[in-house]
Amino acid sequence: MVFGLKGVFNKSQASDEYVELDLNQAKSKKEKIKIRQFTLKKYDDINDILAALREGYTIAFIDIKQIKSKDIIELKRALTKIKKTVDAMEGSIAGFGDNAIIASPEFAEIYRGPSTASHASHKEDLLM
């Protein structure tokens, strides 16, 4: 007794089935880069920020003024968590003024201006 398996292994019944792929479909769905503003009021607010950054298309502008005035330890914890996530994504993070942080994925680089070491050497060049 073969239980009807003979038809499964029969080579003469091989069909010419194939799947047609639309190569233009992937091109039509382009993600746009988003610059989103977040306000960090408490430590739990970082969940939305981290989720947006992990999408890979979001540059986060984070206002830290409220949490900075309430609890500096919570601010440090939140910034450490955001920094670890950004570093894991090979992105960058920088302070923007006294009350804002910018975090970006790897495709965007934050320009920080000339470093203080180059300022010092430039001043020495001017004095000579």
| Beta-strand pair 34-39/92-95 | unpaired
32-109 is classed in which CATH architecture?
A: 2-Layer Sandwich (3.30)
- Please give the Cα distance from 5 to 59 (Å, whole number): 57
Q: Give pLDDT tens digits for 16-50.
A: 676 665 666 555 456 788 899 999 999 999 999 99
83-100 confidence digits (pLDDT tens): 999 999 899 999 888 899
Structure-block tokens of residue 77: 């914890």
Pairing, β 100-104 against β 58-63: antiparallel
The domain ranges of the chain are 32-109
How would residue 128 be classed by pLDDT, with cut points 50, 70 and 90?
A: very low
Model confidence, pTM = 0.63
Whether pLDDT at 2 is above 70: no
